[in-house]
């Protein structure tokens, strides 16, 4: 069900939203819960999360 909702958002709002969601999920799980990320892995994904937040705030 979740993937279907993400796809719909991607189609209706912004094509990149699915990639941004994946980056946010990856940072949340691997970075916060598992604490397995190096700083470089966070840096390359943080802009995707910023884009997602900016779309959600609109």
d(CA 26, CA 4): 18
Amino acid 6: pLDDT: 67
Give the residue extent of every domain in the chain.
Answer: 2-57
Average pLDDT value over all residues in the chain: 82
Instruction: Identify the H or E element spanning 53.
Output: helix 39-57
d(CA 52, CA 6): 12
Model confidence pLDDT, tens digit, residues 30-49: 887 778 889 999 999 999 89
């Amino acid at each position: 069900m979740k993937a279907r909702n993400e796809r719909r958002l991607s189609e209706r709002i912004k094509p990149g939203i699915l990639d941004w969601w994946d980056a946010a999920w990856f940072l949340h799980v691997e970075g916060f819960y598992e604490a397995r990320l190096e700083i470089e892995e966070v840096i390359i994904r943080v802009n995707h999360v910023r884009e997602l937040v900016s779309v959600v705030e609109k």
